Structure 1
Amino acid sequence: MTEEPSRNPHANLGSDAGQGLWQACVEQLAQDLPEQQFNTWIKPLVAQVADDFSKVTLLVANRFKLDWIRAQYAGRIAALLEGLYGQPVTLELAIAQREAVTRTYVRPVTAPQGVTHNTSQGSNPDGGAPAPTQTSASQGGNAEESSAGVFRNRLNPALTFETLVEGTANRMARSAAMHVAGTPGHLYNPLFIYGGVGLGKTHLVHAVGNRLLQDKPDAKILYIHAEQFVSDVVKAYQRRTFDEFKERYHSLDLLLIDDVQFFANKDRTQEEFFNAFEALLAKKSHIVMTSDTYPKGLANIHERLVSRFDSGLTVAIEPPELEMRVAILINKARAEATEMPEEVAFFVAKNVRSNVRELEGALRKILAYSRFNQKEISIQLAREALRDLLSIQNRQISVENIQKTVADYYKIKVADMYSKKRPASIARPRQIAMYLAKELTQKSLPEIGELFGGRDHTTVLHAVRKISAERQQLTELNQQLHVLEQTLKG
């Protein structure tokens, strides 16, 4: 149900603000979706926003795309628009005439660098239904590359070491990445970076490529998402162009590849990646990979490929600590030509703990809410802009929920969380639960201690510091904590 136009507080903002609303929605989708999906389905959309913001009509090129977007993305888009605007928004889809698209497309969408799309379909050697794919830059017949006469590296020049906020959470990974960029082909080959969604893995691999390109402009560098490699294998299989495929990938000086967990269950893709991997290492080229889990935690990947992944240096990126989250918010607000008061940054950072992508999403909501309501940024405004997020967090994550989840995971009784028992089989999970309570709730140390059987706040502080330090050193513990955090966050 939409509001009457006369009662809408944003009715006087006009078409520019309407396009601003759509642009904010698109930027969020660019962060949330894989590049291939974003560029194929979201980037070409044209939005017509009603003056009173009550309705957004998306113009789509044809019936096939309209049906696909309605089924796969319409619900998410509608929810994002409502979250950004703060009131219900009716979303409609319509097939656009070519002239209409030209006339109504007001602002270009800022998209992840260097990806085009088509809707060609065919058989898939790795199984599964064929789907619209990116136009592959790895094929010898790529018109854009041939006409330009240069190698297309797909790097985003904005993602550098200088624009990456450093903190305890990413210090080791950043240091290793800088070493690789400075002396490629030597130590730490391959470099395997793992961590949860939105922690900065992609930023880091782009930074490696940009630094090497700065030092060696003639270096042959390629950044791709694993889905793109799968797509390239499919096309080489369909077109019988494996010679061109191998020339493309086996001749690189630096291969940067995101989310290798997408190779799971794709035997032909894994075979071709293994061959490329061996060829690149033989010629002392460097490989940098990212994944959502450490190598031995990858499922349905051939053992010989996993052993190659684990043969160099494996480093983790953790969720950013409070001070790092504050710095990220302030820096990204400045990049948007806005000064975020420090107390607001602390408020947001304390409530958005999981990853950088969620921080950026929260920041975009605050900036949009401030702009649409013509109000200065304050804690109260941030609270209003993020009310849905704060409501979900307060409802889902409690100390009691943490205690139950941790007890179930380590197969102890919930009552052991409050007891005075001290065997390692109980004390260790109890310390982990205290650590998670401090990280995922707003409770103070004394409050957490009280909920753990009336323990002193110094006991909680000791547990938090102990688990935090060990998380940096013990891969198995870090993986356990990652699983627990994802379980608690739903």
Structure 2
Amino acid sequence: MLDYTTNNAKSVWNNCLNFIKDNIQEQAFKTWFEPIKAIELTDNVLYIQVPSKFFYEWLEEHYVKILKSALQKELGPGAKLLYKIEMENAQGNKKPFTEQLPSTHREPVKTQELDVPVQQKNPELKNPFVIPGIRNVKIESQLNSNYSFDNFLEGESNRLARNAGMAVANKPGGTAFNPLMLYGGVGLGKTHLAHAIGVEIKEKFPEKTVLYISAEVFTQQYVDSVRKQTRNDFIYFYQLIDVLIVDDIQFLSGKSGTQDVFFHIFNYLHQNGKQVILTSDKAPVDMQDIEQRLLSRFKWGLSAEIQHPDFETRVNIAKSILFRDGVEMPEDVIEYVAKNVKTNVRELEGAIISLIAQSSFNKREITLELAKSVVEKFVKNVKKDISIDYIQKIVSDYFSLDVETLCSKTRKRHIVQARQLAMFFSKKYTKSSLANIGSLTGDRDHATVLHACKTVDNLLETDKQFKGYFEDINKKLSM
């Protein structure tokens, strides 16, 4: 009898779907009706399975009339609809059909159903960004419209990333750059470019749902969903996004639960042609405490590095800031600032603003002399650029070795420790990737560098003599 009722249910529901499909937009049909499964038809009552309470609430709030029309067209005016929801606990284990909810367009059933009016439900289930107490089903993008491609200046240091971002903005989910991973040091423009891509997509494709979120906020939302036992709703919310932008994805390091839920969300979005954009302070190959299955997906698309801007780009950035603020500055002053403030774009902008402020508040003309005094104070506490070659030279001299011996294949204990220290300090004081550090230290791989860094950390806790070596070299590099 079960097979008979199930077959009947599927037949009735398919006819309902044909009717519904002709009366709503294609994207809405795919999102809200294709995931539904017909379970059983008994006494003019059609049981359908939906993924979550969130799904049920959305259907009841937005599509109850068309559902009623479709069902009564098939089964007559006495037709009734009952939802069965696949619940999920905090560990992700599914418990099918543990909760039944009636449609609001029929009389309540005096059995085990839970009949709660939609308007009394917790709005947080619908949208993690909704302020409690305010009903708003619209998903806001959280984008900063001040960040655009127009004010993101192109140079050798960011050309690949910017052009890839433009390609994604013109065809989200339709290029080979999915996911698009933007990585690089602090203050180089990763967040700016990520926002710019999202802003451009919203302008060109206003129907698409775009969401920018930091990995830290994503993690907090996930923790809250586990506490409130709404993990299923949390996942379904993120499956609705057409373009998901996650900033500082390295924040997920060591957070196995958040990584697991993001893995499933990522898979769903990617498989359904949705665009994923990520930013990180390091390349996927250099990330630690991130599951391999997640790292492999980060590498599916394009990983584009944003490097430190060259002198020409820094000059153009400085001129752009001055133009934005309506300030004129002598060419020699602009070039001086650009030449001496080269750590990142953020500090360059800070130096320009400081110079403008000094001139304005003290009513002094912007001269090279004023620029020198401002820049000197501004960069005094900025860490010097230290190269891997310089670090290897300092370490080699300290241990009375030459650099060639330091980078050789020998396994003598004192040379191995010197080599490990050189790799550790290269990671600490430079922005180079682990792969690049290994390549410049006797053509070794990133795993060897990672092992060296962990060994140094362990020896610092267990070997006093080694700790003395470390502190001596660190002082030399910090001078």
Q: TM-score range by the shorter chain?
A: 0.5 to 0.7
Structure-1 separation of matches of 2:438 and 2:192: 22
Q: Could you tell me which residue of structure 2 aligns to residue 265 of structure 1?
A: 254
1:328 and 2:328 are equivalent in the alignment? no
| C-alpha spacing 1:166/1:397, structure 2 compared with 1 (3 Å) | same
Q: 2:237 aligns with which of 227, 233, 248?
A: 248
CA contact (8 A) 2:340 2:375 kept: no
1:407 and 2:393 are equivalent in the alignment? yes
| C-alpha spacing 1:397/1:371, structure 2 compared with 1 (3 Å) | same
Q: Could you tell me which residue of structure 1 aligns to residue 364 of structure 2?
A: 375
Structure-2 separation of matches of 1:175 and 1:197: 21
For 1:183, the aligned partner's letter is K
Q: Could you tell me which residue of structure 2 aligns to residue 164 of structure 1?
A: 152
Q: Could you tell me which residue of structure 1 aligns to residue 191 of structure 2?
A: 202
Deviation at 1:136, TM superposition (A): 8.5
CA contact (8 A) 2:160 2:304 kept: yes
Q: CA RMSD in A?
A: 3.9
CA contact (8 A) 1:192 1:315 kept: yes
Structure-1 separation of matches of 2:313 and 2:180: 24
For 1:223, the aligned partner's letter is Y
| C-alpha spacing 1:147/1:410, structure 2 compared with 1 (3 Å) | farther
| C-alpha spacing 1:477/1:358, structure 2 compared with 1 (3 Å) | same
Q: Could you tell me which residue of structure 2 aligns to residue 150 of structure 1?
A: 138
For 1:239, the aligned partner's letter is K
Alignment of 1:285-304 (within 5 A): 285-304=274-293
| C-alpha spacing 1:381/1:412, structure 2 compared with 1 (3 Å) | same
CA contact (8 A) 1:329 1:360 kept: yes
Q: Could you tell me which residue of structure 1 aligns to residue 222 of structure 2?
A: 233
Which structure has the larger Rg? 2
Q: Could you tell me which residue of structure 2 aligns to residue 337 of structure 1?
A: 326
Structure-1 separation of matches of 2:130 and 2:138: 11
TM normalised by structure 2 equals 0.56
Q: Could you tell me which residue of structure 2 aligns to residue 24 of structure 1?
A: none
Q: 2:127 aligns with which of 111, 130, 139?
A: 139
Deviation at 1:243, TM superposition (A): 3.2
The CA deviation string for residues 424-460 of structure 1, in whole angstroms up to 9 with x for no partner, is 979xxxxxxxxxxxxx9xxxxxxxxxxxxxxxxxxxx
Q: Could you tell me which residue of structure 2 aligns to residue 94 of structure 1?
A: none
For 1:277, the aligned partner's letter is F
Deviation at 1:414, TM superposition (A): 8.0
Q: Could you tell me which residue of structure 2 aligns to residue 305 of structure 1?
A: 294
Deviation at 1:260, TM superposition (A): 0.7
The CA deviation string for residues 455-488 of structure 1, in whole angstroms up to 9 with x for no partner, is xxxxxxxxxxxxxxxx9xx99338989x9xx996
Q: Could you tell me which residue of structure 2 aligns to residue 84 of structure 1?
A: none
Q: Could you tell me which residue of structure 1 aligns to residue 74 of structure 2?
A: none
The CA deviation string for residues 86-111 of structure 1, in whole angstroms up to 9 with x for no partner, is xxxxxxxxxxxxxxxxxxxxxxxxxx
Deviation at 1:380, TM superposition (A): 1.4
Q: 1:173 aligns with which of 161, 166, 184?
A: 161
For 2:171, the aligned partner's letter is T
Segments of structure 1 that go 5 or more residues without pairing to the other structure are 1-123, 126-134, 427-439, 441-470
Structure-2 separation of matches of 1:257 and 1:398: 29
Deviation at 1:416, TM superposition (A): 4.8
1:348 and 2:340 are equivalent in the alignment? no
Structure-2 separation of matches of 1:136 and 1:356: 38
Deviation at 1:390, TM superposition (A): 4.0
Alignment of 1:65-104 (within 5 A): none
Structure-2 separation of matches of 1:144 and 1:336: 39
CA contact (8 A) 1:182 1:212 kept: yes
Structure-2 separation of matches of 1:283 and 1:189: 12
SS in 2 for 1:386: helix
| C-alpha spacing 1:330/1:489, structure 2 compared with 1 (3 Å) | farther
| C-alpha spacing 1:478/1:139, structure 2 compared with 1 (3 Å) | farther
Deviation at 1:171, TM superposition (A): 0.2
Q: Could you tell me which residue of structure 2 aligns to residue 477 of structure 1?
A: 436
| C-alpha spacing 1:153/1:270, structure 2 compared with 1 (3 Å) | same
Structure-2 separation of matches of 1:239 and 1:273: 18
Segments of structure 2 that go 5 or more residues without pairing to the other structure are 1-89, 92-122, 410-428, 441-448, 450-473
The CA deviation string for residues 138-178 of structure 1, in whole angstroms up to 9 with x for no partner, is 83582389555532101111111111110000001111111
SS in 2 for 1:143: coil
Deviation at 1:325, TM superposition (A): 0.6
SS in 2 for 1:207: helix
Structure-2 separation of matches of 1:392 and 1:140: 40
What is the identity percentage for the equivalent residue pairs of Structure 1 and Structure 2?
35
* Higher mean C-alpha deviation, range 211-220 or range 334-343: 334-343
Deviation at 1:386, TM superposition (A): 2.7
Deviation at 1:407, TM superposition (A): 3.1
Deviation at 1:181, TM superposition (A): 1.0
* Higher mean C-alpha deviation, range 376-385 or range 201-210: 376-385
For 2:365, the aligned partner's letter is E
Q: 1:183 aligns with which of 159, 171, 186?
A: 171
Structure-1 separation of matches of 2:124 and 2:214: 12
For 1:406, the aligned partner's letter is Q
Structure-1 separation of matches of 2:272 and 2:395: 45
Aligned residues: 307
